[in-house]
């Protein structure tokens, strides 16, 4: 076990300190400038599109843009927002929060590009649409091998490891709040997971669109209450974050690089921008233009990191003992909230983590399912995958947390490197699609429609021709 821990630690160091951190920042900035700051220019449009998707009629057998947003947000909003932020503050200090914000603002442009590409290169199946990095690697880059490698990674990473992380955090939270046996909670989680994932994408979409909005809003309201009753301390909290982010002391003791690294790692684990996960959900949406879902998924990054992660960070930093309590992860968040609103804070966080993390489990599963179908349409293999997912949820409920988190970092890093290479090569199609969308809006077209035949050099596209007979059902 010690040998495995050392191996995982060395791979993490190589990926995050020398490769991925540079790619994320450089490509995030490149996409930001090439799209003319799409994440800021279209901020109002994102909310309009999300609202239209929520109130609009959904076609039979399809996933709406709002449901696709909820599936991806279900995966994003989980342990990373509550336990991961606590770990970041303890390991990297308050300044790590600033670097989480930065990677979210930069990475949201990467999220736009990857989700738009997922829509452009999506395929039609009997349940609607599916797609993601594996699909745009095969069709856009003409490399099925690259798509297969990515599919294996995301299936293992999200279907197995990340789901073990989610169930681990749920059982720790419930054990801390109620003294409930971890294995017992794990068994219940496994059964509930099995019921939902064997129901297919539409059951996943339905569960996600119920859980995510209600409890995300509830969590934000509680955080705002904590901020309100401590309003006099907020300027000091913000000052602490910025001072530590650029602190002379951190640079002097050699902890500056570690703080930045922690902030970026936990930020990416939370918002998943550029990792190649959210595009799997983005591709499932039935929209009239790829850019629509690209913009909606970009909003998901803001919602995850700038809003929900910040809520957790403020709750923790308002807790005077956060650095000396000897707690980490979910237990620190529970202690911090309890110090503000009493013992009910412990229970509230346990319930929130149950619902956030459980929604992440079903969202993560969907990413694996989409890629299992890319590798093989065999239903036996899909059902075997479902059984293993349920087993990993049970395993994670009693596993040691550090090894699970470290493995998650390794797989997340390898996935992100492969996906970033792909979207760097295919990004031009997302830029052209954005221009097409903008031109139609400027021409007074309220609901832009995408036609792949108008995009020079765009090939192997199945779902964006005006002739429906040309659409291939897989």
Residue 125 dihedral angles phi and psi, to the nearest 5°: -130, -170
The count of structural domains within the chain is 1
């509830």: which residue's tokens? 218
Q: Which domain covers residue 44, as residue numbers?
A: 2-52+62-443
Which CATH number belongs to the domain containing residue 124 in this structure? 1.20.1740.10
* Residue 79, pLDDT above cutoff 80: no
At 36 the pLDDT is 92
CA distance 325 to 64: 45
List 32's β-bridge partners, or say none.
none
At 310 the pLDDT is 83
In a domain, 434, yes or no: yes
In a domain, 239, yes or no: yes
385 close to 159: Cβ distance less than 8 angstroms: yes
In a domain, 450, yes or no: no
CA dihedral 354, 280, 47, 67 (to 10 degrees): -60
In a domain, 250, yes or no: yes
363 close to 355: Cβ distance less than 8 angstroms: no
Instruction: Give percent of the chain with pLDDT exceeding 70.
Output: 76
In a domain, 449, yes or no: no
Measured between alpha carbons, how far apart are the two ends of the chain, in Å?
43
> pLDDT for 252-305, tens place per residue?
444 555 666 676 766 666 677 778 888 888 888 888 899 998 998 888 888 878
List 124's β-bridge partners, or say none.
129, 473
At 60 the pLDDT is 52
In a domain, 357, yes or no: yes
> pLDDT for 379-390, tens place per residue?
888 888 889 888
In a domain, 451, yes or no: no
Question: Cα–Cα–Cα angle for 247, 252, 255, nearest 5°?
Answer: 75
In a domain, 89, yes or no: yes
């Amino acid at each position: 076990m010690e040998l495995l821990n050392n191996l995982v630690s060395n791979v993490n160091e190589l990926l995050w300190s020398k490769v991925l951190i540079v790619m994320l920042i450089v490509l995030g900035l490149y996409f930001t400038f090439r799209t003319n700051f799409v994440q800021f220019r279209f901020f109002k449009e994102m909310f309009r599109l999300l609202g239209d998707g929520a109130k609009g009629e959904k076609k039979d057998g399809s996933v709406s843009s709002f449901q696709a947003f909820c599936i991806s947000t279900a995966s994003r909003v989980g342990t990373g927002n509550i336990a991961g932020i606590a770990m970041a503050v303890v390991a990297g200090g308050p300044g790590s929060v600033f670097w989480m914000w930065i990677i979210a603002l930069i990475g949201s442009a990467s999220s736009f590009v990857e989700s738009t590409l997922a829509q452009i290169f999506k395929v039609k199946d009997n349940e609607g649409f599916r797609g993601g990095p594996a699909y745009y690697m095969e069709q856009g880059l003409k490399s099925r091998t690259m798509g297969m490698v990515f599919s294996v990674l995301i299936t293992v990473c999200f279907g197995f490891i990340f789901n073990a992380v989610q169930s681990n955090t749920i059982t720790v939270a419930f054990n801390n709040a109620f003294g409930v046996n971890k294995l017992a909670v794990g068994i219940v989680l496994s059964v509930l997971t099995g019921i939902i994932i064997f129901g297919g994408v539409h059951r996943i979409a339905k569960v996600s669109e119920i859980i995510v909005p209600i409890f995300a809003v509830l969590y934000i309201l509680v955080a705002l209450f904590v901020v309100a009753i401590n309003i006099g301390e907020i300027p000091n909290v913000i000052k602490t974050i910025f001072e530590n982010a650029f602190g002379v002391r951190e640079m002097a003791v050699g902890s500056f690089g570690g703080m930045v690294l922690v902030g970026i790692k936990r930020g990416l684990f939370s918002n998943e921008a550029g990792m190649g996960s959210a595009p799997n959900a983005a591709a499932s949406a039935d929209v009239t233009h790829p850019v629509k879902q690209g913009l909606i998924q970009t909003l998901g990054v803001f919602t995850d990191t700038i809003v929900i992660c910040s809520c957790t960070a403020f709750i923790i930093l308002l807790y005077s003992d956060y650095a000396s309590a000897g707690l980490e992860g979910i237990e620190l968040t529970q202690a911090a909230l309890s110090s503000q609103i009493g013992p009910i804070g412990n229970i509230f966080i346990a319930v929130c983590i149950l619902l956030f993390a459980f929604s992440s489990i079903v969202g993560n599963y969907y990413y694996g399912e989409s890629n299992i179908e890319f590798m093989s349409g065999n239903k036996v293999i899909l059902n075997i995958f479902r059984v293993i997912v349920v087993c990993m949820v049970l395993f994670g409920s009693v596993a040691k947390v550090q090894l699970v988190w470290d493995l998650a970092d390794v797989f997340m890093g390898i996935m992100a490197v492969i996906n970033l290479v792909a979207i760097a090569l295919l990004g031009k199609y997302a830029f052209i699609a954005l221009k097409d969308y903008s031109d139609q809006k400027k021409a007074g077209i309220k609901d832009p429609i995408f036609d792949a035949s108008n995009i020079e050099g765009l090939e192997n596209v199945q779902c964006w021709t005006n002739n429906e007979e040309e659409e291939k059902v897989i």
